[in-house]
Amino acid sequence: MCARHKKLHPLGERCPLCPASGQRRYPSKNTRAAGRYDYQWVKARAEAIRLQPRCSFCSSSDLTGDHIQSLAEGGMNSLEKIRVLCRSCNTRRENTRRKGRHC
């Protein structure tokens, strides 16, 4: 019996209404799932944080890497194209970008 659909099906078979095992019901919209953030990004971000251990805007220490120009707009994963921001500054920057203002 399928717990989600409350339907009986033969023993050992999966419910035909449920997605295949390993598949998400709703695919992730995360860019990592799309394959944009690869090993090159992880290495470049770690190097940028090592070189600059403080946020570029507020000098906080809860750091993330941020593309100066987003990948969707043609940005790259090189060290020169990454700046170090804290989580709150990175979120604030993303919200202003979505409203049409660029930082």
CA distance 30 to 61: 25
CA distance 93 to 103: 7
**pLDDT on residue 30:** 57
Domain segments of the chain as ranges: 39-98
Whether 28 has a pLDDT exceeding 70, the answer reads no
- pLDDT, tens digit, for every residue of 79-99? 999 999 999 998 888 777 767
Average pLDDT over residues 24-51: 74
Structure tokens, 86: 């804290």
